[in-house]
């Protein structure tokens, strides 16, 4: 069931979303050659704690997972697409890092992700990340009252496929509100004019996941969480929590 949020609830979700934005900004600032993924996780924990927020990631265990997730961020490096578990791995010059973070505060959740290169960026990685950001922007632009879910999916897919990138199979965005994952699912590819009508008060986590090699397949690491490209190519992941309103899409996790 899709819960339509009131304007007051959307305002409260914005406050939670800003905690997520602050955490991601702090992590990106701290990410440098030689810094470990566990150290970045600690940076995000400190931001959440200072804001009186908790992590919907920490201890999360969906049906596919063999163990609860042990961190407050997902840190996915190079060919890892999503769900990377922070480890003692120390970042190297040229690593492509995708960071996903969530927060829970005041009964509401927020969820967002960024991708960036540590140190010197290869042109191919810059193009991949820029395309992921364009795909996210296109999906947000389509998230307006009167459109349908297929319009968001089509907007994202058109950008990704047009640039020659793959779109991760079986994964996409989701509704968000009192819990991190709610109805409805938000595909990253679809037909315009199809699917659920978009209404004022819907809040969606829109999240393109791009594979540089052009294929859509992925594999799962032995940890049961980390999802990687099957061809070893790099991946990028971007995400915002977005409220659909009569005044247009409102990005609740917008970063300064």
256 is in an annotated binding site: no
Distance CA 150, CA 198 (A): 10
Residue 239, annotated as binding a ligand: yes
Contact 211, 81 (CB under 8 A): yes
DSSP 91-105: P-TT-EEEEEEEEEE
In DSSP terms, 185 is beta-bridged to 174
Q: Distance between CA atoms of 109 and 243, rounded to whole angstroms? A: 12
104, 129, 145, 154, 201 from 151: Cα distances, Å: 29, 22, 11, 5, 17
Is 182 annotated as ligand-binding?
Answer: no
Q: Is 111 annotated as a binding residue?
A: yes
End-to-end CA, the chain: 33
Q: Is 221 annotated as a binding residue?
A: no
Specify whether the CB–CB gap between 86 and 40 falls below 8 A.
Answer: yes
For residue 200, say whether it is annotated as part of any ligand binding site: no
What tokens does 172 get? 């996409």
Which residues fall in the annotated binding site for substrate? 83, 181
Which residues fall in the annotated binding site? 83, 100, 111, 174, 181, 207, 239
Which residues fall in the annotated binding site for a divalent metal cation? 100, 111, 174, 207, 239
């Amino acid at each position: 069931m899709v819960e339509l949020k009131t304007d007051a609830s959307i305002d409260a979700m914005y406050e939670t979303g800003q905690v997520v934005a602050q955490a991601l900004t702090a992590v990106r600032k701290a990410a440098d050659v030689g810094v470990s993924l566990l150290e970045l996780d600690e940076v995000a924990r400190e931001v959440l704690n200072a804001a009186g927020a908790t992590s919907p990631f920490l201890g999360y265990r969906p049906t596919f997972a063999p163990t609860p997730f042990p961190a407050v961020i997902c840190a996915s490096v190079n060919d890892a697409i999503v769900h990377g578990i922070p480890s003692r791995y120390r970042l190297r010059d040229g690593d492509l890092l995708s960071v996903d973070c969530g927060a829970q505060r005041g009964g509401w959740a927020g969820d967002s992700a960024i991708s960036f290169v540590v140190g010197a960026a290869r042109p191919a990685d810059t193009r991949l990340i820029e395309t992921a950001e364009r795909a996210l922007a296109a999906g947000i632009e389509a998230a307006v009252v009167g459109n349908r879910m297929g319009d968001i999916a089509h907007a994202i897919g058109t950008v990704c496929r047009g640039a020659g990138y793959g779109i991760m199979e079986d994964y996409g965005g989701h509704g968000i509100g009192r819990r991190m994952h709610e109805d409805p699912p938000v595909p990253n590819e679809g037909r315009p004019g199809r699917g659920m009508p978009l209404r004022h008060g819907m809040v969606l986590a829109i999240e393109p996941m791009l594979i540089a090699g052009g294929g859509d397949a992925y594999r799962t690491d032995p940890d049961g969480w980390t999802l990687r490209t099957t061809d070893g190519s790099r991946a990028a992941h971007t995400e915002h929590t977005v409220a659909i309103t009569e005044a247009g899409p409102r990005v609740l996790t917008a970063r300064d």
